[in-house]
Structure formats: C-alpha cells, structure tokens
A and B are shown apart, each in its own frame.
Chain A
Amino acid sequence: MTGTPDGPEDRLRRFATIWSRAIFPVTATSLTRPEFEQQLLPLARRLRDALRARTFDAAAGKAVGAGLVDTHCTEPEALSRTLDVVDAYLVLYCGTEGAQEEQRVRSARLQHAAAAGFAQALRERTLTEQEAIYRAALDARAAVAAALHNSEARFRAVFQEAAIGVGIADLDGSILEVNDALIRMFGISGQTMRGYNVMDWHHPEDAPQVWRLYDELVRGERDHYRVEKPFSRPDGTVLWTNLTVSLLRDAEGRPEYQLALMEDTTERRLLNLRLRYEATHDALTGLPNRTLFFERLEKALSAGEGQRFGLCYLDLDGFKTINDSLGHAAGDRLLVEVADRLGSCATAPGEMVARLGGDEFVALTTGPDTQAEVEELAARIMNALAAPIRVDGRELTVRGSMGVVEGPAGERGSAEVLRSADITMYRAKAAGGNRYETADAEAEALAITRHGLTTALPSALDRGEFFIEYQPLVHLGDGSVRGAEALVRWLHPQHGVLGPDRFIPLAEHTGLIVPLGRWVLEQSVKQARRWQERHDDAGPLRINVNLSPCQLTHPGLVSDTVAILQAAGLAANALCLEVTESALIGADDDLLKPLRRLAEMGVDIALDDFGTGYSNLANLRRLPVSVLKLDRSFTQSMQRFPADPVDLKIVEGIVALAHSLNLTVTVEGVETGAQAEQLRILGCDTAQGWYYARPGPPDRLHELALVDAAS
C-alpha cells in the first residue's frame, strides 16, 4: 500500500492520518491510534474514489458514515470532527488538478451523505444493542424464573410431602396454607383448616407461657419459639404436638407471616403416660406403688408453712398364714379386695392409698388439718377391714396393724417418717394387732435404739467399743476379795456406756454373742492372770465369766476355753463360767457334755440367777455345777427390816441343800452391811454387790485386794 512520496497513495494516507488524529481522542476503541488509522484508510479511499469518479455517487459518503460507527466511533463529536476533516482536507489531499468547484460540491455532498449514514448506522446499532440488552435481561429473568420455579417446586414438594405438619398464617392468625401432614393430624379438610384462626386453638392444657410467646412472635419481638401444645380435634380427641413457630419477615425485615411446624406426639405421649402409670402403679392392685407414694410423700413433706401430713402404715396380721394355707392366688385375691376397700377410704383431695409391697399398704393425707383427718382415716381403714372378705368360698377375717404418724411439713424426711410409721405399726402388732397406734417419740426412741444397736453391733467389736468391768466377789466369812465377775460394757459412740442387758439379747439374736463371748473370756482370763502375777500373796483371785445359751451350744466352747486358758497361762480352777438357770432347764446330755468336760478339767460352773426359773431341785445332782448364784430377788427382800421370815427360811433351805450337794453359794445384789451379815448367818459363802464395790476397772479390784490383804 505504500506509494511514492507525495504520490496519490501517500497523500491518501496523510489524509487518513489527519483524520485519525482528529477523532481518536473521542473514540472508545482499545486500538492504538496507528491501528485505528488503518481502519480509517479504506473509508478514506472510498471518499477519494467518490471524489474522483467519473459519475458521482453520494452513497459512498453514507457508507463512510456507517463505517465510522462500525469502528466504534459512536460519539457525535467523532462525526463532527470527521466532517471538519473532510471539508478541510479531502479535496486538498485526495482531489485532482481540475474542476475544483465540482470537487468542492462533491465533498459537501459526501459530507451530507456521511452524516446521514452515520446517523442511520448509529440508530441501527443503538436499536440493536438496546434490543440485545433487553433480550439479555429477559433471558436472565427467564433463567431466574425457571430456577425460582424449580426451587419453588422443590420447596413445595418439601412442604407438601413433609412428614411433619407445616402451616403458614398471617400475623392476625388467619391460616393461609397447610400441608397434607397437618391436615391428617387434625383430621379435617384443608378448606376447613384455612377457615381457622390460630387463636381458635386455645386449649385448657396449654402451658402458661404458650400464648405469651405467640404474642411476642406476632409483634416481631421474637423470631421463634418451641412448645409442647395440645389441640382439640373436631372429633373431640386431643392432638399433642411439638410445635415450633417461626416468624417470617419480608425483604425489609418487617414481620409478615408465621410458620408453624408440628410434630404429632400424641402416641408418644400416651405411651409415656402409660409407661409412667406402669412405673408408678402396682400391677396387682392398681394402687399407686412405692415410687409414686414416695413422690407424693416427698411433696407433702416439702410443702409450705401451715401444711401437714398424716400417714397410716398398714400391715395385715397373719397374711403369711393365709398365703401358706390357701395359696398365693387366694392371697393375691385377698390383697386386691383389701386394696379396693382401702382405696374407697381415701377419696378426698390430698389423700392417697398405695401398696408398698407384700401386705404393706400406706394411706396418706395432706393439708392443713391432718391432725384430725388422719385419725378419721385410720378409723375408716380399720372399719373397712372389719367385714370378712370372701375368697374361694371362704369368709376370711382380715386384721391389720397400723402405725399412724402425723406432723407438720418441713421437719422430717420421708425415710424418717416411714421408719417412724413402721416402728409404730410394730408396736400395734406387739400389742396384739388389729389396732392402730399413734407414733410416740419415746417409744420410738427405744425401738430406734434397739434397731440401731443391732446394726451397729458387728462393727463395734471390730472397732474395740467393748470393754470389761469387774465386780469383786467377797468371802462372807472373812470379807476377803476372792475374785471378780467380768461384766461387759459397750462404749457406744452416740449412746455412751451401755450395760449388757441393752445389747446381749441383741448379740444373742444376731449370733454376734459367740465372737463377743470369746473376746470377753479372753480378756478376763488374761486379766486374772495379771492379777495373780501382781498379787500372788493374797491368794488366787478367781474370775467369773458369763456364758450365754448360744455359746453353750457352740461346738468350739471347750476347745476355745482350753486354748484361752493355755494362752494366758491360767489354771482351769481359777475360772468360773456362769450359766443361767433357764439355759439349763430341760438340758439333755448333749448340751451338758461340754460343761462336764470343762468341769472335769477343773473349771467351776456356776448356776446363775438361781431361783428365778422353775428349778427342778432334783436335777441339780445331775448338773456339772459347783456354784449356785442366788438371784438378787432373794437379797432384795432382805433389805427390808425385819426381813421376811419366809424368805429367810427359803434361803436357808437352799443354802443347806446346796452345801449338801457340795455346792458353794454366792449371793448377788448385796447393798447393806445388815444384808451381808444376814447372809453370812444364813451360811452363804461369797457375795457381790454395791456394799462391797460397784463394777469397775481391773485396777480397782487390785487395790481392793491389796487393802484386803493388808487389813
């Protein structure tokens, strides 16, 4: 395209350069100016050709105007500058030597045509682009609408097919939309449903906060809440739901709708109620069970000031016998009838009857006036049991023992109250049954102590809570100390020092007497040995130790005793084992054998509390006994002055009998000098009692013996 310098091509290019320089600043092209100039060059050529053509055609000008638009010269200023450039330079750079005027005319007409072409092309382009952008906007909208439609379809599917109930209401509560699940839950048509207002669904069992939460939500103060809520169905049944309500806001955040999601919990609730019922009721009688009773009792006991409770604890008398003789089925039928009768006794609000198990029932009354009410309740129950119960064609007379406890709330725990009732019930039973007793603190304390001591006994031995006191045995002839009786004591952590009468029967009952007895024997024998070591000049001090009936029958009695004596190094004749008369009454040879063995070894056997039982005096010969200990009842009668002559005669006779059988006689409970003198005259050999010394620590005895020896 390069031409000779100042040739036509070169001049054409110079024209294009001028043109491009003029309009480049007002174009939006991203081309460089030289590149842009290249785009103008064909347009310049068309102008030149039109200028020089044999036959003039202004259409070229139109094409040039349109070409400008094609090169993205859309600014009107580009046209204006183009026309300026054509006007000033086209003829100059692209014209011919001849007909200047004709060329000027042609240039002017080309400019007019270029303007028209530019305008037409720009209009076309503008319209095309406008249409394109509108179509793009429509396409985009259609795409969004399609996507929205899809998402809405998905949403609707979720809404309609959801297993949970979904409903939408406006802020006034008018139901706008409900899904199938919700319709099924309520059992009414969607049409009917949409006629409802949320406010129609008040239910008597609504939780107190439900409607407050609702109000907060529709006022826009809360975005959602979740409650358990019942609804009444048109058929009168109740629909229980887990209800979640959410506030839907518009784009500006203003509250617009409320959305409710409901889960039908009716079945689950029924099941829960049923499980709860089963967990809290006795399967046989249908009465509340122990669990429910304790719940109520706890509630009654923790009630506020002024509230009281009354409790009747009933145990049937002789129920075991009925069960054993008539069978469990009959026993059960009896219990069911008893339960029915009891149930009818406690029908007032605040009253309940429960079965604790077996043949144990309780009736509870609560409120401010239970002091009077509980007595009436107890009387009603006794009365209800009065009529015989017919079971398997038999008329059974049912008797019961009842413990009644009444008191103010807030003082005692349920376990304590029930124990009190239990103890009181046993008091009623002990008093013959078929009655009720009212709890009595003193009686209870005793029973509680007995109960407590029994349970505390085993560990007491381990913890070394027992100790031994010794009461001297004094020779009545010369007043010298001959030995001592070992008396076990219990230093109880709460109750202090307890005598054997408080716990030996309990130990007998629990079998603890065997290890306890062995311990006492061991300690006493060791002590006797110590006395002998320190006091051999005062003659041998003997030791008396009590044997309980249990120990007598214990197979280890002989071997234990021998082992203990050997271990301590004490001679057998320094030991005297005291056995109560009652333990030996009717004793056969088997029982007496171990005692005989011990006696053969030299151990003295004393018959304790002699004269309290129906002693078969003739039997005395047969027993391996060497000492009679007269019961304190004989000495007590001698405290009076003058003593009862008959008593004196009896004692005298016993002593004579004993001596004739080679038995020595010891008396207990000597409290005065006169008594001692009397007993000495009557021929008694040894004595013990407060007159000489109370039971005391082992060192006391040592001192007494020393004094005795010194005197």
Chain B
Amino acid sequence: MERPAWAPQGIDITVPSVSRIYDYYLGGSHNFEVDREAARKAMEFMPGLPKIMQANRAFMRRAVRYAVEQGITQFLDIGSGIPTFGNVHEVAQNACPGARVVYVDHDPVAVAHSRAVLEGNENAGIVAADLRKPRDILGSSEVERLLDLERPVALLLVAVLHFLEDADEPYRAVAELRDALAPGSLLVATHASYEGIPLRPEQAGGAVGVYKDIRNPLIMRSRDEIARFFEGFDMVKPGLVDMPLWRPDTSPEDEDPYAFSGFAGVGRIA
C-alpha cells in the first residue's frame, strides 16, 4: 500500500545526513558519529572536501552581498542544511537589516535545528519541504508570510542541485521556481562537477560512492549540464565559473586548489 501523503517520514539518526556531514566539514559539532564516519570516509578519497564546502560558503556570502547591492532584500535558500555560521540571514541582515530569509530543507533534524536557531528572528523562517516539490515550497505559510513574490527574490540553490538525480527532474523543479519569481530575481547556484577537481576522476568517484552508500547520491554534472539550470536567466558576470572566480574579493591565487571543484553562477530573470 502506498504511504499516504500526510503520513510523515520517520527519522533515523543512525543514517548519515548530508547536512550534518556538511556541518562536520565546516568544523561544527552538529553531527553524530555516523555522520563523521561517512565524512571521514569521503575525505579519504578527497581530503580537500572541507575546502570545497568553504568555497561554497564564501561564494554564497559574496552572492548574497551582491544581491543586496542589487536591491534585493528577499532570500529563498533551498537546501539550507544546518546553519552553523555565516548563514544567509546573517550575511543578508548584516548588509541590510530587515532582509527576509526563508530557509528550506527536507531533513527534519536540520529543520528542527534551524527552527531553534531562528527563534526570535521575525524576518527569517524555515520550511520543511523538498526541492523536488517546488509547489510545496511556494505554497508554504512561511513563503507566504515572509516573501513578496511580486518583487525580486534571490533564490539560493547552493550545493543542493547535485543531490537531485535526473529522475527527480531537477531542471523542471528549477523552471517551476523560476516561473514563480518576479523579474529581477536572481538564481544563485553551485553544483559539484568532476571538472576542476584536482584529482583523477576515479579517486573523486570514491567520495561520490560514499554519498551513494548513504542513499544521497551525489550527481556530478558537466559544465554544460549545470549551465542548463540557468535557462531563462541572464547570466550575471562573470557567468558560470569556478567558485573562487565569481566576483572575488581577494586574489584567487591564494585559494586552496580544491576550491576550484564545481561551478558557481548567478542568473537574473529579465
């Protein structure tokens, strides 16, 4: 029998979670041994994984600031995970007090944690929903309460699209979100790729295998495939590039080689 839609998923903290693994990479302790074990295993193949995460965070930070410079004060961060530090609402509200942020994640623990962190912050909220079902996100009470979709929104899909398999129709999901946003809205996205990783693909494949083992397969896409997510957007300069090369504040020469794994870009709805 099919599980009814309204019956909730159970939670099992003996299964590693990508958001807690991510937290571990970033030096946090919001994780359990199963998460750390998986993270260590992946790092055996790719010791620089934390640097990739860090580059993602740094890019996101620059992009959020860019969005604020563009006059955008509304942010929709899907796949927000466990907000440890340097989060969208911190960056955005720092740059623009009163900026509104809606986080979205499908990991119930990440959602519960976010809820605790955001307690008392009237301009930020968390939605328990899945990127695969944009309508659940767009129809949520938090989005309704915090975001005015008639005005531009920065949609953040940072380090999340590569967890959607083709069968999940990630392009359709992005298009559906795009179609719900007003002109001037931005898509801020990063995506993992074998292109740019300073390793042989076989070795990087080991890390990918770890994610596969924890039933959160990491889908490595080519630059062209990643560019397709920006269909219907005008690319903001410098386009779809290595993460450290997107509007750097400091010389990218100092960056760790792993920071160049995967791509980052910002697109604007005309």
A659 within 8 Å of B by Cβ? no
Which residues in B have their C-beta under 8 angstroms from that of A591?
none
B216 within 8 Å of A by Cβ? no
| Nearest chain A CB to B217 CB, angstrom units | 20
Give how many B residues have a beta carbon under 8 Å from the other chain's beta carbons: 41
Instruction: Verify B29–A144 contact, CB threshold 8 A.
Output: no
Most buried by A among B29, B58, B85: B29
Specify the chain B residue showing the minimal Cβ separation from A259: B1
How far, in angstroms, from A246 to B60 measured CA to CA in the complex? Answer: 51
Specify the chain A residue showing the minimal Cβ separation from B35: A133
How far, in angstroms, from A132 to B1 measured CA to CA in the complex? Answer: 37
Instruction: Take A136-B113, A148-B8, A246-B1 as given contacts and tell me if A143 and B29 are in contact as well, using a CB distance cutoff of 8 Å.
Output: no
Specify the chain A residue showing the minimal Cβ separation from B32: A133
How far, in angstroms, from A505 to B249 measured CA to CA in the complex? Answer: 123
Instruction: Take A141-B11, A248-B1 as given contacts and tell me if A133 and B26 are in contact as well, using a CB distance cutoff of 8 Å.
Output: no
| Nearest chain B CB to A247 CB, angstrom units | 10
Give chain B interface residues in 236-269, CB to chain A under 8 Å: 249-250, 254, 256
Give chain A interface residues in 122-172, CB to chain B under 8 Å: 125-126, 129-130, 132-133, 135-137, 139-141, 143-144, 147-148, 151, 154
Which residues in B have their C-beta under 8 angstroms from that of A74?
27-28
Instruction: Verify B30–A132 contact, CB threshold 8 A.
Output: yes
A388 within 8 Å of B by Cβ? no
Instruction: Verify B11–A140 contact, CB threshold 8 A.
Output: yes
A75 within 8 Å of B by Cβ? yes
Which residues in A have their C-beta under 8 angstroms from that of B11?
137, 140-141, 144
Instruction: Verify A148–B7 contact, CB threshold 8 A.
Output: yes
Instruction: Verify B32–A33 contact, CB threshold 8 A.
Output: no
B209 within 8 Å of A by Cβ? no
Which residues in B have their C-beta under 8 angstroms from that of A129?
28-30, 84
Instruction: Verify B111–A140 contact, CB threshold 8 A.
Output: yes
| Nearest chain A CB to B74 CB, angstrom units | 21
Which residues in A have their C-beta under 8 angstroms from that of B9?
144
Instruction: Verify B58–A30 contact, CB threshold 8 A.
Output: yes
Instruction: Verify B25–A28 contact, CB threshold 8 A.
Output: yes
Give how many A residues have a beta carbon under 8 Å from the other chain's beta carbons: 33
Instruction: Verify B26–A32 contact, CB threshold 8 A.
Output: no
Which residues in B have their C-beta under 8 angstroms from that of A148?
7-8, 10
B54 within 8 Å of A by Cβ? yes
How far, in angstroms, from A67 to B191 measured CA to CA in the complex? Answer: 33
Instruction: Verify A151–B113 contact, CB threshold 8 A.
Output: no
Instruction: Verify A151–B25 contact, CB threshold 8 A.
Output: no
How far, in angstroms, from A135 to B84 measured CA to CA in the complex? Answer: 15
The answer, among A28, A136, A154, for a CB contact under 8 Å with B109, is A136
B82 within 8 Å of A by Cβ? yes
Instruction: Verify B61–A132 contact, CB threshold 8 A.
Output: no
The answer, among A31, A135, A137, A144, for a CB contact under 8 Å with B8, is A144
Which residues in A have their C-beta under 8 angstroms from that of B110?
136
Instruction: Verify A32–B13 contact, CB threshold 8 A.
Output: no
How far, in angstroms, from A72 to B11 measured CA to CA in the complex? Answer: 29
Interface string of B29-47 (1 = CB under 8 A from A): 1111000000000000000
The answer, among A25, A32, A151, A248, for a CB contact under 8 Å with B58, is A32
Which residues in B have their C-beta under 8 angstroms from that of A323?
none
How far, in angstroms, from A525 to B52 measured CA to CA in the complex? Answer: 121
B162 within 8 Å of A by Cβ? no
Specify the chain B residue showing the minimal Cβ separation from A24: B254
A304 within 8 Å of B by Cβ? no
B50 within 8 Å of A by Cβ? yes
How far, in angstroms, from A30 to B32 measured CA to CA in the complex? Answer: 23
A29 within 8 Å of B by Cβ? yes
Instruction: Verify B7–A30 contact, CB threshold 8 A.
Output: no
Instruction: Verify B7–A151 contact, CB threshold 8 A.
Output: yes
How far, in angstroms, from A27 to B27 measured CA to CA in the complex? Answer: 8
How far, in angstroms, from A136 to B8 measured CA to CA in the complex? Answer: 17
The answer, among B4, B6, B25, B112, for a CB contact under 8 Å with A140, is B112
How far, in angstroms, from A136 to B108 measured CA to CA in the complex? Answer: 8
Return 7 A-B CB contacts under 8 Å, by A number.
A30-B54, A31-B86, A32-B58, A133-B29, A140-B111, A144-B9, A144-B11
A-B residue pairs, 7 tightest by C-beta: A136-B113, A30-B57, A129-B29, A147-B8, A140-B108, A139-B112, A28-B27
